[in-house]
Amino acid sequence: MRRRGRRLGLAVVLCVAAGAALAQQPAPKPAEPTPAAVEAPPPYEPQLLRLAEIVGALAYLRDLCGAHDGDAWRAEMASLLDAEAKTEARKESLAGAYNRGFRGYELSYRACTPAAQDVIGRFLDEAAKTSTDLANRYGG
């Protein structure tokens, strides 16, 4: 019986010693999440980027054609960024789409033409349709 007691006592001492040794080691750091895992784009990302591009184009073209509401379109984009850009990368992506729309038409149109007015009409229709689709499908 004494041997059994010694073995049990020795096992307890070894477990306590092993536990103390483990406690002195630094805890392993949790794996850092990959950027893709942190920021997966929402399923409506393509439509949202297209909408941002359209808003940029409208901000330029509507001012060019005398509507003088470019500030209102910039405010719409700011609202979109406030609602959707939770990270810096997302903000850059949406702002980049807006800037592509604005600069693309800035390079193409120096004066308001019938073609520019046609583009404005098509973009207003597309923006309304896209906004409605996004709200109906993903809105809360």
Q: Residues with Cβ < 8 Å from 36, sequence gap 6 or more?
A: none
Eight-state DSSP code of residue 139: -
CB-CB contact of 73 with 61 (8 Å): no
pLDDT of residue 40: 84
What is the C-alpha to C-alpha distance for residues 140 and 131, in angstroms, rounded to an integer? 14
pLDDT tens digits, residue range 9-50?
433 333 333 333 333 445 556 555 555 446 688 999 999 999
> Measuring CA to CA, which residue among 72, 50, 67 is closest to residue 120?
67
Look up residue 110 and give its DSSP letter.
S
Give mean pLDDT, residues 62-73: 95
What tens digit of pLDDT does each residue of 75-130 get? Answer: 999 999 999 998 999 999 999 999 999 999 999 999 999 999 999 999 999 999 99
